[in-house]
Chains A and B, each alone.
Chain A
Amino acid sequence: MEKSIETIWKEGFLKSDALVAPKLNDLYNQKSKNIVDKLVKIFKINLWGVLALGLVFWIIAYFGGVPIVGAIFFILFVILVVYGKLKMDKMGELNKNVSTYEYLKAVDTWLKGVMAGYTKIYRLFYPAFFILTMVGLWFSNIGDIYSEKLLYRFPDMNMLFGMPVYLLGFIAVVSSLLAIFAGPIYKLDMYSVYGRVFGKLDDIIADMEELRKE
């Protein structure tokens, strides 16, 4: 008797042996490779982004009449990039001839090292960036217009290095706060970019640790 394709389909899959799922031997290796590749990719894009941002700041500062401030901005960003590049090279040296778990643990340790290093750098970078921005704005062509208005209104204002003492005080307070809270700020910044990858890396390591216990 002829059967419809619908009947063949239904009857064919009634037997359980028709739907045996293959073993996933290499899944963790693939996932690990995937995570590390993604991490490296984002890291590289980030470094190029930082460099481009440094250049943009330099250009803006140049046209704003404060090229030296712009150059310092650029140097600050270059420091971030050079540090990142050195760390990337270190990552490339990680031994891949070990188990996936050991490799991922090494990547995780590397990542924590990078974050610790960057936290130290950002403790100086954030305040420096803020100081430069404020100084740059004050002495820029746009800042000149406002500083003149301010000085016209408050001619007896105390000045130091060509800037109002109140403003310097404000810069000092904010810079100190930035230096103190550099760690959490950087962490927030990092997790906004790498959060998902970090989460997946943690998950897969936790998974593999669990499997090793079994």
Chain B
Amino acid sequence: MEKIVLPEIKDLHLIEVYENNGGYSAAKKAFARSTDDIIDEVKKSGLRGRGGAAFLAGLKWSFMPKTTNKPKYLCINGDESEPGSFKDRQIFEYNPHQLIEGILIASYAIGANTAYIYIRGEYHKWVKMMQKALDDAYAKGYVGDAMKATFGTDFSCNIYVHKGAGAYICGEESSLMNSIEGHRGYPRVKPPFPAQNGLWGCPTTINNVETITNVPWIINNGWQKFASIGAEKHPGTILYGISGHVNKPGVYELPSGMLLTELIYEVAGGVPGDKKIKCVIPGGSSMPPLRGDQLEGIRMDAESLKAAGSAIGTAGIMVMDEDTDLLKVLLRIAKFYHHESCGQCTPCREGTGWLEKILKRLASGKGTSSDLDLLITVANNIEGNTICALGDAAAWPVKFMVARFRDEFEKYVNKEIQLPVKNKVHAMRGTAVPLADIKH
């Protein structure tokens, strides 16, 4: 199968090798066409965002205002902090020039003369690699003012790398913009949407690294060919990042809509010791987990996973074998979201803390069955009540893990109820523990 994002060509990260393999020819072709034509091509290809929400990339571009006297911006989201996803770093390392070319085409389509690549701070090595590729592209006249002469066009675009500094929340698009502007990474209230009011109040589009890297291939090969790969409603290839209890973890570029079982057992070599699978999180830690005994027939594309009660997310598949302690896993996930909540909205700031505390209580053996219901209640009160999706991301794993693995969690529940206060009747009302469960 042909690889789109990570072709198997040696030293492709070097600009000479990239040029010899047809590099920067897609940009030249694109600049000869109208911007509407490019947006239309990407729309028809059905390319969907690879950052989590799987939104149609072409449609997103078409939201950018055609007539405005403000500058327009393109932001490339390489914050990649979702536990379980490690795909963008492969692009920075092995195919940075295709990303740069994709940025040029996307900037041309939306009319942006400045683009920022936001890379998470921990990726020191990959920030340097991306900067090196960018410097080479500048030196060869593919980026900046010199591109006018190189490509014979009126359009020019500057690309800069912005290094984050260790905040998961900056992967949220409005928070990412605040971070570039030099503020704390607080998400903004939407509307106004970035296409109207983004970076410095100007029209802005934010796309994922992997999404943009697909664009040059679509321009070179046409939308029909792209749309024919993989699942009909979510076409193209996906970088599947498989981690956890598998024999061959790693990133694999394969068509969308692959069977989850095929990915785990054939591509990633199955589970060590031929153990059974207890749980799989299909799209990074914030997506609802699936039961290991219900994986048959589930395909890895946005529509199929939605039908299966989860979501594609970043396609970071985390596999857990039958000996995994799910309470420990969930406690770790809850701790992560508590740590990463930016603190702007009360339900998320306080709620994520409560989730962690309740799970800690369960782990220490002092939890009761009403704690399991309390977890779901708290999660429900976070979900949908916050500015950004981090609230939902914190609520989903807890809500669905407890609901789908209730039998697992019941094992941790202490049947002997310890009342927090001496007045038992009062405590009964307060905690709503069934009378029969209380030992007097």
Partners in one complex: no
Give me the interface of B with A, judged by CB distance under 8 Å.
none
